[in-house]
Amino acid sequence: MAGGARVDIVIEDAHCKSCGICIDLCPKKVLLAVPPLLKAAVGDLSACTGCGLCQILCPEWCISLEPTGAPV
């Protein structure tokens, strides 16, 4: 998804296992852990570059990036 397109980050909460991989490896720290189960959630979407690392590295495949169609 890199290349200038704005994205929405969709997290399927029911499938998130709270591993934290997406949170730890996001280069812009867009994601955060939400108590009490520390599941991933979008914190600062405006910082997202659309690199897709969260989507690629999620072992449960519960994160997807959806283009909004608006250029950065």
Q: What DSSP assignment string belongs to 8-50? A: EEEE-TTT-----HHHHH-TT--EEEETTTTEEEES-GGG---
Domains annotated for the chain, with CATH where assigned, are 5-71 (3.30.70.20)
Instruction: Indicate the pLDDT class of residue 68, thresholds 50, 70 and 90.
Output: confident
The pTM for the full model equals: 0.82
Tokens of 20: 């934290």
pLDDT digits (tens, 9 = 90+) for 4-59: 458 999 999 999 999 999 999 999 999 999 999 999 999 999 999 999 999 999 99
pLDDT of residue 28: 96
